[in-house]
């Protein structure tokens, strides 16, 4: 559906996006992740035709961005970061204007506006100036704006930024609903959001793609080592170290004595091959230490993200 090849964008001498290549398929919900200033927004702006790439090609269906930007713009609905809408227009007037520019005829237009007002929960604010709306409502107007022409591709730049938890869940539901039939590309720096909504995740750091995989695969690949956390009472730091180091497969121990109650927190790094928990438990059982916490770090996107985007 969308084919991006060697996409590069320089702002003067600063390289914001560095030779990105991507293929996005129909019906995919793609999450673009990355720390601040990684190039997410710039990438999306090039996809939507707001910025011209310094080099590289973007092809959407049969159109390329330099030859036929207008056709691509017709296919894409775009919600820019923080929904910069016309402040002094009424919500209805704004949606009406967008509908006209998107080329909806009279009948389609009123039906579509009504449908979007229902979907995005705007019925009670249609006659308010956009200026008077809360951030969340404005974001929803922006979403309605992006969905106006029922586009095949929806590009959303941080669609849930600045929303309260309830609104986030609502917007996520809407996105997942749309994602069943349409291609959705969204950028975010909230990892749990990407985990919850996206089929596929692309992580960008310093303008380069550092990971591109299905969300599940990425989670599986997280962490080359297993990390186990233990908390003990009634234990001596040195004795613990001596006892645990006898177990094969444990690479490192970082004990940290806690002031209150003499609790001892230990972070064990183990080799990835085997599950060490059984051996550790047996070793502790032999002593008179009291085990109050014992868990293996679950690998989630956060771990992957931090590993991939850490500064050296």
Partner 1 sequence: MKQVVHILNKELKDYFISPIAYIVIAIFLLVTGWFFFTTFFLYNQADLRNFFNLLPITFSFVIPAITMRLFSEELGIGSYEILRTLPVTFRDIVIGKFLAGVLLIAAALIPTLSYPVFIAFLGQLDWGPVAGGYLGAVLLGAAFTAVGLFASSLTRNQIIAFIVGAIICFSLTLVDQMLFFFPRSTLGLIGYLGADFHFKNIARGVIDSRDILYFFSIIFIGLYCANLALREKE
Asked if 48 is part of the footprint of partner 1 (rule: CB under 8 A), the reply reads: yes
Contacting range for partner 1; rule: CB under 8 A; set: 80-88, 214-222, 268-276, 277-285: 80-88
Separation between Cα atoms, residue 294 and residue 291, nearest integer Å: 7
Q: How far is the CB of 83 from partner 1 (least distance, A)?
A: 9
Selected from 76, 122, 153, 163, the binder of partner 1 by CB under 8 A is: 76
User: 100 or 229, CB closer to partner 1?
Assistant: 100
Asked if 187 is part of the footprint of partner 1 (rule: CB under 8 A), the reply reads: no
User: 44 or 268, CB closer to partner 1?
Assistant: 44
The pair phi, psi for residue 74, each rounded to 5°, is -70, -30
Contact residues for 153 (Cβ-Cβ < 8 A; gap 6+): 1, 2, 60, 75, 76, 77, 182, 183, 184, 185
Asked if 109 is part of the footprint of partner 1 (rule: CB under 8 A), the reply reads: no
Asked if 85 is part of the footprint of partner 1 (rule: CB under 8 A), the reply reads: yes
Selected from 31, 34, 49, 179, the binder of partner 1 by CB under 8 A is: 49
Closest to 186 in 3D by CA, of 33, 308, 75? 33
- Reported in sequence order, the residue ranges of the chain that DSSP labels E, i.e. its strands, are 2-11, 14-24, 29-33, 55-60, 63-64, 76-79, 153-157, 183-188, 200-205, 208-214, 226-233, 250-257, 264-270, 290-296
Selected from 103, 252, 262, 272, the binder of partner 1 by CB under 8 A is: 103
SS3 268: strand
* First-to-last C-alpha distance (Å) of the chain: 35
SS3 176: helix
Would you state the structure tokens that stand for residue 88, as one six-digit string? 């002094």
Contacting range for partner 1; rule: CB under 8 A; set: 81-89, 162-170, 184-192, 234-242: 81-89
Q: How far is the CB of 4 from partner 1 (least distance, A)?
A: 17
Contacting range for partner 1; rule: CB under 8 A; set: 19-27, 79-87, 170-178, 212-220: 79-87
- Point out which residues bind partner 1 (CB under 8 A): 45, 48-52, 70, 73-74, 76, 78, 80, 82, 84-89, 93, 97-98, 100-103, 145
């Amino acid at each position: 559906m969308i084919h991006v090849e060697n996409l590069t964008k320089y702002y003067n001498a600063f390289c914001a996006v560095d030779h990105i290549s991507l293929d996005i398929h129909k019906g995919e919900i793609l999450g673009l992740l990355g720390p601040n200033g990684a190039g997410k927004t710039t990438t999306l702006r090039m996809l939507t035709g707001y910025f011209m790439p310094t080099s590289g090609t973007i092809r959407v269906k049969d159109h390329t961005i330099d030859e036929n930007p207008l056709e691509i713009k017709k296919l894409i609905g775009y919600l820019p970061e923080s929904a910069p809408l016309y402040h002094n227009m009424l919500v209805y007037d704004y949606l009406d204007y967008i509908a006209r520019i998107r080329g909806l005829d009279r009948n389609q237009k009123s039906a579509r506006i009504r449908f979007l007002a229902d979907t995005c929960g705007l019925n009670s604010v249609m006659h308010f100036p956009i200026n008077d709306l809360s951030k969340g409502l404005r974001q929803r107007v922006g979403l309605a704006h992006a969905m106006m022409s029922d586009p095949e591709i929806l590009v959303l730049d941080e669609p849930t930024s600045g929303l309260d938890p309830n609104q986030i869940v609502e917007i996520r539901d809407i996105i997942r609903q749309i994602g069943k039939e349409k291609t959705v590309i969204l950028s975010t720096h909230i990892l749990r959001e990407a985990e919850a909504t996206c089929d596929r995740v692309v992580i960008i750091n310093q303008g380069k793609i550092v990971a591109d995989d299905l969300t599940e695969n990425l989670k599986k690949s997280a962490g080359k080592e297993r990390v186990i956390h233990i908390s003990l009472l009634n234990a001596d730091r040195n004795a613990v170290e001596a006892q645990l180091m006898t177990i094969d497969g444990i690479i490192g121990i970082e004990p940290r004595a806690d002031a209150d109650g003499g609790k001892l927190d230990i972070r064990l790094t183990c080799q990835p091959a085997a599950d060490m928990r059984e051996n550790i438990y047996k070793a502790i059982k032999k002593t008179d230490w009291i085990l109050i916490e014992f868990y293996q770090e679950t690998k989630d996107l956060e771990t992957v993200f931090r590993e991939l985007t850490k500064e050296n």
